[in-house]
Structure formats: C-alpha cells, structure tokens
Amino acid sequence: MFELKPMLSALWRNKISALLIAVQLALTLAIVSNATVIVQDRLEKMARPTGIAVSDIISVTFMPVPVNYDMAGAVAADLELLRNMPGVVDATVTNQIPLSGSGSASTYFTEPNQEIGGENANYYQTDEHFIDTLGLNLVAGRNFTRADFDVIGPNDTYEPRVAIITQKFADVMFPGEDAVGKYFYSGGDGEPREIIGVVERHLGAWPSWSKAGQVAFYPLLVTGNHKRYLIRTEPGQRDTVYKQIEEKLAERDPQRVIHLDTLSKRMAQSYISDNVMVKVLSAVMTLLTFIVALGIIGLTIFWINQRNKQIGVRRALGATRANISRYFLVENTLIAGAGLAIGMAAAQVINHFMVNQFSQPVLSIPTLLVCALILLGVSVTAALVPAIRAANISPAMATRSV
C-alpha cells in the first residue's frame, strides 16, 4: 500500500538530498527541544505564585535631606498618613522591596553557635502591617504585635527576638514539624529567634535565586539614611492612589527625595532577562522551524519537478491522485522520521551537556516527543502543497516526449 520498500530503495539512490533534510530536521529538533525546555523553565518561573498581591502594591523609597533626621518619627507619621488615604488597604515599612532583585539574606541554623549546615533565607525588617499590606496568608501562629516591634539605630547591635517565616523556609529548617514555637539562629551567634508565625508564601527579593521563597520577617525598624514603604490599594485603585502619594508625602514633609514605583513594574524588571530569553529563544525556534519547512517545501518541489515524467507514468499505470500525494507524503515522513530519530538522540546529548555545564533544566521525554511530533507535523504540512500539486500532474505526461 505505501510502497515502503521501493520508496526506501529510491531514497537510498538519492540519499544526499534526503540526508540534508534529515540532518536539518535533526539539528532543528535538537535545538528546538532544548530551547523549549529553557523557555518552559523560564515561563514556569515567571508564572510562579509570589504569595503577594503584586498588582495592588505601590513601593515608596525616600531619602531625607537633613542630616539629623527623625526617621522613626517620620516613618510613624508617613504610615499614619498613608493608611488613612482613600483607596489604601494598608501600608508597611520595609528594608527592601520584594521581587525587586535587591534584598538582604543571611544563613540560619537550628542550633546555637552552629557554623555549618545552615540554610539561606532572604530577610525583611518590617512591622505588624506587612501581612495585610502584602496580602500574605498566615497559615500558622500569629502576626507581630506593636509590642514585638523595635526601633534601633543603624550602628546598634541587636538580635530580633521573634520572627515570622515562610512555609518553604519552615519546611527546610524543620522538615515535617510545626515550626511555630521553635527557635533558629543567625550564623555564629547564640541568640534565639522564636518563630511566632508562618506565612504560606513569599517569593522574596530575588525570583531567580535557587532559595527563592525562603524568607524571614522581623518586627524591626533600623533608622538610617533612607526608608521604604509598601502601600496596598483597593483593587483597581492603584493608579489613582499612586498619583496622590508623592504629593501627600511631600506636603507632610518636603525635606526629602521621594521615588515611587509599582510592584508590578519592579517584578517585571526582575524578570527582564527571563522575558528576553523567552522571546529570543521563541524567535529562534520559530525561525528554525520556518527554515526547515522551507527546506522541505523546496526539496519536495525539486523532487516533484525532477519526477514529473515518473509521476505521469505512475498515473498512466493506474495510480490515483491520492496514491501520488500519499507517495510524497510518506516519502517525506520517512525522511522526517529518520531525521527526528537522530535529532532525539542529539537533543539528549546536547541537554546532558547543558545540564552539566550550565545547570539548564533536564529535557523530559514527553517534551522531546511533543517537539518531535510538532516538527513531524510541520514537515508533513510543508510537503502537503507540493504533494497535492504532484497529484495534479496529468497521466498524459507519460506519452510526452519532452
């Protein structure tokens, strides 16, 4: 039915062109499948839940002009002002902006004076409003109270007494246990920090960090030369509130430089390299697939032009139009199948190298198969138009002398 044996035999006698297309397909599959796995990884990374009400949050950074500035007083007054603005849900003070790519981290231990075997976590100095402001979900224990909150100078030595941590950090520090009520320690010291609460999720400062999501929060204000606020607005009110904040803060205290941003924008900036990578790789994949499709169309047209007479003879001998189309489609599928089989092996070899040398994600067999099937579909589709054209060659071609 499919003339496989004579078809393979004919292909073997025209192996150079067939081989070129097969190699092109093999390389395309090897590149496209590995690019797909990178794109998938980046897309998954960008789509991870942050645990934060990102789209409703505005960040404010301010730097006072006077040297002896009452930072604690200014923070208290600003927060009071911000929380009472129409459209604002809550506001908090923080040492860093979440998801911004800028933050602080430390190594923590479960035993005092332990120096090895610790776990890294991003940490924030904030107040009892941070859960509501960020829209976090407290899954165990309690929030901070005003009594937990301390204010210290930038050069003061101080160890927080209590902390709230993320579930992810709790799981690595105390696997399978309830973290609330347990203590942990910063590197090299023996001062215990009691875990009083656990929030479900907070991605932290660096979305690309391997420990992203391991976060600790302390009820603390360290006065210094600048401070940051996070303001959560009612849904849909962010842009309206945004326009008013700078004016209100400047009105309350004009002796400072104020910078505003939305958390959405800060997060997008953090993911910019991932976004660029996704776009570039997607463009490369599309271009390669397009080139391979053009190659197949070109080769199929070339073969059909070369075999016009032969097609006419086949038609004269009883081939239907469907027989002719099928012949070229099956022939193309055989070439594509061989190329994709080689490509699957090549993809695995390249991925092995990428995983070992560049810590890229592992290419799964289902992903590889889906890529191979898509390329096979592209290949068959590319051959379809020339194959239909071949089917329309008249059987009378067999009796033409030229």
Partner 1 sequence: MLKMHNIRKSYRTDTIETHALRDFSLQVNEGEFVSVTGPSGSGKTTFLNIAGLLETPTGGQYLLDGEDVSSLNDRDRSRLRNEKIGFIFQGFNLIPDLNLFDNIDVPLRYRGFNAKERKKRIEKVLEQVGLSARAKHLPAQLSGGQQQRVAIARALAGEPRFLLADEPTGNLDSLMARQVMELLEFINEWGTTIVMVTHDPDLARRAHRNIQIVDGQVSDLQHGTIGAAREIA
Residue ranges in contact with partner 1 by CB under 8 A: 1, 3, 5-6, 9-10, 13-14, 309-310, 313-321, 323, 394-396, 398-399, 401
Give the nearer residue to partner 1 in terms of CB position, either 361 or 395: 395
Give the nearer residue to partner 1 in terms of CB position, either 19 or 172: 19
CB of 339 to partner 1, least distance (A): 20
Residue 213 gets the label, from left (phi > 0), alpha (psi -120 to 50) or beta, of left
CB of 357 to partner 1, least distance (A): 45
CB of 12 to partner 1, least distance (A): 9
Give the nearer residue to partner 1 in terms of CB position, either 11 or 258: 11
Give 386: exposed, middle or buried? Use CB within 10 Å, 0-12, 13-18, 19+. Answer: buried
Q: Which helix H or strand E contains 259, and what residues bound it?
A: strand 256-262
Give the nearer residue to partner 1 in terms of CB position, either 14 or 244: 14
CB of 20 to partner 1, least distance (A): 18
Ordered DSSP codes for 22-85:
HHHHHHHHHHHHHHHHHHHHHHHHHHS--SS-GGGEEEEEEEESSSS--HHHHHHHHHHHHHTS
CB of 356 to partner 1, least distance (A): 45
Extended strands (E) in 157-246: 162-166, 183-186, 193-199, 215-222, 227-233
CB of 385 to partner 1, least distance (A): 19
Give the nearer residue to partner 1 in terms of CB position, either 53 or 316: 316
Ordered DSSP codes for 94-142:
ESS-TTSS--EEEEEESSTT--SS-EEEEEEEE-TTHHHHHT--EEEE-
Give the nearer residue to partner 1 in terms of CB position, either 21 or 37: 21
